[in-house]
């Protein structure tokens, strides 16, 4: 049996002793009323007990330098082709593979049960720079229109990007047009009815933070298959006087505002600081939800009126009753809880689905800090330019919002039960922008990056379910001290101080009438599977991984899942999950069937 399937079955058994956390996990303030009871009650009788995941197709893009060669993936139903962005070369491309050509029997596993060979060659390479300048960040496909949309960021940090549209109805993609959007389009998606394209424009600052474009959300209308020549772009300037209110709602605004860098006084507004990351659209195409990762929030857009409905803080997760391993230098596996430690959800990928005709938002709570370096030749020049620190490899540090706990002064009462050293909480990376609650110079609370979980929220941004400490406990049970591995080394326990397994990729699919959430772990690798049919009683189903974990051995298999696409089952084929793996540069296709 393939090792990934063995681990899957083992994980199913482990869940008998694991309980997911739900309700008001970590949110400040009162909990809203619970939603209506589902028609199947807790859904316990109908929940899946497990899945069978079989790796049936695999391709490695740019094998000589694979990192960044396969991140975002899409599937075109009419042709059966898989599309993947390849940003590892001198110019960005989209690689197109024919899934039907892959012979599953050609894949072979090594002694550890890991598959590293390929059976799905690239059929077409689409050169994006021939029609659009800049870097490719995201792709989306409309099966209704047989159309491909590619998010292209401009080379200049403050210049608007474009969405490049291609007709994919024929034997090869044909360029249609470029539509200008906001600065740094980082994610693009068609609405389910293919009437619009929605774009998250991240608007990141320059390396020295002296230029900080405003983040925004662009909407491109499509009428009778014709793409509009212009986009409607929504900004956040209306919130510039509301930072204190948004912070009280559970958002974060880490930036160097008030400092002078390279001779310029930094004055960062809310509109500058908000950086849209990912878009998910409701099934009826009426509402878009946009993750604001570094700011720990969601933006909600009315797509009918094409207006911004609001910005919602996600609050903080309480680590006092669930466990994590907070150190990469504590000798291995040490799971414990901490009073006055909170997690910022900071979701990357998000998705939506419906239950009882209500929309719910699912988030992969990766976490993300801010760290910016700019080019300076020596330490003295860095200091003169207002830099915080100088590193020969990275350059002059203009801004960082994180610190290890051991470098902070902790309130002796709030943290009386911890040792602020490598064996305890000392190695954990936390934000320096929040935690000194009484302004006396020490930290009364600590806020760490990400929630090491996935969550379900209602359409108003209220927390319905969180997977708690499942991901770290399950991978620890399976891998022992090899848990919390990094994505490019087999050292074990190397990411415990920084976001743990780091859930990033996410897809929602339906199998045998059950809604499943697939969550990719960027660092440890592999996919967690949850039955989320009833969002108020979500349950762990399985875990599978095609990654070698032998300590100090060469790392093998699929590394750092970045993007996912679920393909529903047909009369002739089982459901499939396509994964773009950033570090290994591989596209992997898993056949998913229910037990």
pLDDT digits 0-9 by tens, 388-407? 999 999 999 999 999 999 99
Q: Is residue 506 part of a domain?
A: yes
Q: What is the pLDDT of residue 374?
A: 97
Same domain for 342 and 376, yes or no, is: no
Same domain for 387 and 457, yes or no, is: no
Same domain for 244 and 378, yes or no, is: no
Same domain for 247 and 380, yes or no, is: no
Q: What is the pLDDT of residue 552?
A: 77
Q: What is the pLDDT of residue 49?
A: 77
Residues with Cβ < 8 Å from 155, sequence gap 6 or more? 133, 134, 135
User: 329-335 contacts: CB < 8 A, separation 24 or more?
Assistant: 329/422, 329/423, 329/427, 329/497, 330/422, 330/423, 330/424, 330/427, 330/493, 330/496, 331/423, 332/481, 332/492, 332/493, 333/476, 333/480, 333/481, 333/483, 333/493, 334/423, 335/469, 335/472, 335/473, 335/476
Same domain for 501 and 531, yes or no, is: yes
DSSP 551: T
CB atoms within 10 A of CB 35: 16
Q: How far apart are CA 198 and CA 543, in angstroms?
A: 32
Q: How far apart are CA 121 and CA 118, in angstroms?
A: 8
Residues (pLDDT < 70) of the chain are 1-47
Phi, psi of 486 (to 5 degrees): -80, 170
CA 424 to chain centre: 28
Q: Is residue 537 part of a domain?
A: yes
Same domain for 519 and 384, yes or no, is: no
The DSSP element (H or E) to which 136 belongs, if any, is strand 135-142
Q: What is the pLDDT of residue 46?
A: 66
Q: Is residue 267 part of a domain?
A: yes
Domain's final residue, options 397, 413, 442: 397
What's the pTM value of the predicted model, to 2 decimals?
0.92
Q: What is the pLDDT of residue 488?
A: 86
Q: Is residue 85 part of a domain?
A: yes
Same domain for 393 and 266, yes or no, is: no
Q: Is residue 403 part of a domain?
A: no
DSSP SS3 for 239: helix
Same domain for 455 and 498, yes or no, is: yes
Same domain for 392 and 346, yes or no, is: no
Q: What is the pLDDT of residue 45?
A: 52
Same domain for 286 and 329, yes or no, is: yes
Range of the domain at 377: 369-397
Same domain for 174 and 262, yes or no, is: yes
Same domain for 519 and 538, yes or no, is: yes
CATH code assigned at 112: 2.130.10.10
Q: Is residue 432 part of a domain?
A: no
CA-angle at 454, arms to 401 and 49, nearest 5°:
160
Q: Is residue 441 part of a domain?
A: no
Q: What is the pLDDT of residue 116?
A: 96
CB atoms within 10 A of CB 500: 29
Q: Is residue 425 part of a domain?
A: no
- The total domain count for the chain is 2
Pair 528, 471: CB distance under 8 Å: yes
Residues with Cβ < 8 Å from 41, sequence gap 6 or more? none
- Residue bearing tokens 């009826």: 284
Residue 425: which of 406, 449, 408, 447 has the closest Cα? 406
Q: Distances in Å between the alpha carbon of 126 and those of 66, 96, 230?
A: 18, 8, 24
Give, to the nearest 10 degrees, the angle between helix 3-14 and helix 470-479.
130
Residue 48: which of 535, 511, 518, 427 has the closest Cα? 511
Q: What is the pLDDT of residue 121?
A: 96
């Amino acid at each position: 049996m393939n090792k990934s399937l063995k681990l899957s079955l083992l994980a199913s058994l482990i869940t008998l002793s694991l309980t997911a956390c739900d309700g008001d996990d970590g949110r400040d303030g009162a909990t809203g009323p619970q939603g209506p009871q589902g028609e199947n009650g807790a859904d316990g009788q109908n929940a899946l007990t497990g899945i069978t995941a079989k790796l049936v197709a695999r391709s490695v893009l740019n094998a000589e330098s694979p990192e960044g060669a396969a991140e975002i993936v899409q599937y075109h139903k009419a042709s059966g082709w898989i599309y993947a962005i390849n940003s590892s070369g001198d110019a960005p491309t989209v690689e197109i593979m024919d899934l039907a050509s892959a012979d599953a029997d050609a894949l072979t596993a090594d002694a550890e049960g890991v598959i590293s060979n390929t059976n799905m060659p690239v059929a077409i390479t689409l050169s994006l720079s021939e029609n659009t300048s800049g870097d490719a960040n995201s792709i989306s496909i409309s099966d209704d229109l047989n159309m491909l949309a590619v998010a292209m960021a401009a080379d200049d940090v403050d210049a608007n990007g474009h969405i490049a549209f291609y007709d994919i109805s024929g034997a090869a993609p044909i360029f249609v047009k470029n539509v200008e959007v906001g600065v740094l389009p980082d994610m693009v998606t068609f609405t389910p009815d293919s009437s619009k394209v929605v774009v998250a424009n991240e608007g990141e600052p320059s390396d020295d933070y002296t230029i900080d474009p405003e983040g925004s959300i662009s909407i491109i209308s499509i009428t009778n298959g014709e793409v509009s020549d212009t986009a409607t772009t929504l900004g956040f300037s209306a919130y510039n006087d509301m930072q204190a209110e948004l912070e009280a709602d559970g958002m974060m605004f880490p930036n160097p505002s008030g400092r002078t860098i390279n001779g310029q006084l930094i004055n960062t507004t809310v509109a500058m600081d908000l950086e849209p990351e990912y878009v998910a659209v409701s099934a009826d195409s009426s509402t878009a939800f946009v993750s604001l990762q570094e700011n720990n929030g969601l933006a909600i857009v009315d797509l009918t009126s094409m207006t911004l409905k609001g910005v919602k803080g996600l609050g903080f997760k309480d680590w006092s009753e669930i466990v994590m391993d907070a150190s990469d230098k504590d000798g291995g596996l040490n799971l414990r809880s901490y009073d006055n430690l909170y997690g910022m959800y900071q979701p990357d990928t998000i998705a939506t689905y419906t239950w009882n005709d209500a929309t719910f938002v699912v988030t992969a709570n990766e976490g993300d800090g801010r760290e910016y370096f700019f080019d300076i030749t020596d330490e003295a020049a860095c200091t003169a330019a207002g830099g915080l620190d100088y590193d020969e490899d990275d350059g002059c540090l203009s801004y960082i919002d994180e610190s290890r706990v051991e470098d902070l002064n902790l309130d002796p009462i709030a943290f009386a039960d911890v040792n602020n050293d490598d064996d305890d909480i000392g190695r954990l990376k936390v934000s320096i922008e929040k935690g000194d609650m009484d302004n006396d110079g020490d930290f009364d609370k600590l806020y760490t990056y990400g929630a090491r979980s996935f969550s379900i929220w209602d359409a108003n941004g209220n927390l319905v379910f969180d997977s708690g400490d499942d991901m770290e406990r399950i991978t620890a049970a399976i891998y022992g001290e090899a848990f919390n591995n990094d994505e490019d080394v087999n050292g074990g326990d190397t990411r415990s101080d920084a976001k743990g397994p780091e859930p990033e990729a996410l897809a929602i699919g339906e199998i045998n009438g059950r809604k499943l959430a697939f969550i990719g772990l960027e660092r440890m690798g592999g996919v967690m599977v949850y039955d989320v049919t009833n969002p108020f009683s979500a349950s762990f189903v399985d875990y599978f991984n095609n990654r070698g974990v032998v300590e100090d051995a060469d790392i093998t298999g699929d590394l750092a899942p970045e993007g996912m696409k679920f393909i529903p089952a047909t009369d002739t084929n089982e459901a499939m999950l396509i994964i773009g793996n950033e570090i290994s540069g591989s596209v992997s296709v898993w056949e998913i069937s229910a037990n």
